[in-house]
Amino acid sequence: MLINFTSNAVKFTANGAVVVRVTMLDESDAACRLRFEVRDSGIGMSEKEIANIFQSFHQADTSTTRKYGGTGLGLVISKRLVEQMEGKIGVVSQPGRGSTFWFTVRLVKNAQRALPESSIEQRPPAESAQQGLAANWSALNGAHILLVEDNPLNQQVVTELLEDRGVSVCIANHGQEALDFLRRERFDCVLMDVQMPVMDGLEATRQIRADPALAGVLVIAMTANASIEDRTRCLACGMDDFMTKPILPEHLYAELAKYLPQRPAQASEIATACTAPLVGASAASVIPPASDPNIIDLRVLAQLFSNNPEKVRKFAFKFLETARESIDQVDAALKQENLTLMAALGHQHKSSARTVGAIGLGNLWQSLEQLKDSGDMEQAREIICRLRPLLAQIEEHIAASFAP
């Protein structure tokens, strides 16, 4: 809720300041009631606009929607969450004089956030799996990897998966940035996306192989395109191997362990690796499935992060943030009638949707991508018109899944 309020405040404040404040309203031994405020000096709203601001898909006016984008659903979800947390929500604003969005919530002190043991499936790994996991841990722990990826959600997901195994990660947003990093410092491996702005992964790899100082760098492709032709192109330009997105943790770890040298590991590290739950094991029903799997199935994300509820929550809401931005981008491309850009955006965002289990949204992005060869503007418009309503359903399901 604070992220939603604060991002809105920054979006609507061209000059001035944004202030976040929290105050204690009352307190007992078991709980406390807090008031959160986000005050900005931005464009403000009229009384008529305030009366409707917490309604679904409503923004202050159509010009605001065109200029700033967004579905308006974030405030509706915030209102619902506040009410479920025994609180209230509101806004004080005047046109041209900024806005103060506020909410109150009741929070239990020292609440244990861990899931009940009965809700998580515990499976002791087999001996061979233990040995393999320990080997992967030994190879990854202490490695220094350059991740070349332009999608913010994919960047964070892969980074956390690697950091959980003791890897230090540096992020480049495109091939040229990757080359700049490689010429300044040494990396054990480059995980290279293929389709990126500025310089794609294929050209970046060609330049790596053409540079005698970099020719021996290990480069592994990560791409949402999984055809034989895609694999052939990756290997032909000099990449060492190929992984498809969405990335599966066990595949990622095993692929890196195949190439990285084994490092001496402390006994405690190996023990931790052997006793930790296997990533990718059958996910328990920690997260309720969507009534329609074409909306979202958060169990896909839960499986990715070994049923860690905090990480599932974090990346579910991070996905919503990036999905709203991606739809704003494709709306702008539609306005320009730029079919090439729309197809590129479809490619960029399909894997992140599938990573969190939003298969229907991922399929829409893929349909948009496929228009680059034989599509037309009418087909693009029809696909894009379906993105926001589906995202609204996904937002509602995520809000319901993480309600207190």
Eight-state DSSP code of residue 325: H
Same domain for 192 and 77, yes or no, is no
Residue 73: predicted pLDDT: 56
Over residues 131-149, the pLDDT tens digits come to: 555 555 677 889 999 999 9
Residue 265 pLDDT class (50, 70, 90 cuts): low
Same domain for 53 and 74, yes or no, is yes
The CATH code of the domain that includes 367 is: 1.20.120.160
72 in a structural domain: yes
- Burial of 329: CB neighbours in 10 Å, binned 0-12, 13-18, 19+: middle
Over residues 311-335, the pLDDT tens digits come to: 888 999 999 989 999 999 999 999 9
Question: Which of 110, 137, 160 is where one domain is finished?
Answer: 110
Eight-state DSSP code of residue 30: S
Same domain for 172 and 251, yes or no, is yes
Same domain for 71 and 44, yes or no, is yes
Residue 288: predicted pLDDT: 53
327 Cβ neighbours under 8 A, 6+ residues apart: 69, 71, 384, 387, 388, 391
The total of other beta-carbon atoms located within 10 Å of residue 121's CB is 13
* Domain with 23 in it: 1-110
Residue 64's alpha-carbon distances to 8, 55, 60, 198, 331, in angstroms, are: 12, 15, 6, 31, 14
Same domain for 375 and 394, yes or no, is yes
Question: Which of 56, 75, 110 is where one domain is finished?
Answer: 110
The CATH code of the domain that includes 94 is: 3.30.565.10
Residue 18: predicted pLDDT: 92
Same domain for 129 and 192, yes or no, is yes
Alpha-carbon span 226 to 228, nearest angstrom: 7
341 in a structural domain: yes
Question: Which of 214, 249, 275 is where one domain is finished?
Answer: 275
187 Cβ neighbours under 8 A, 6+ residues apart: 144, 145, 146, 170, 181, 217
363 in a structural domain: yes
Residue 127: predicted pLDDT: 46
118 in a structural domain: no
**Number of domains into which the chain is organized:** 3
Same domain for 151 and 260, yes or no, is yes
For the full predicted model, state whether its pTM sits above 0.75.
Answer: no
Alpha-carbon span 127 to 116, nearest angstrom: 27
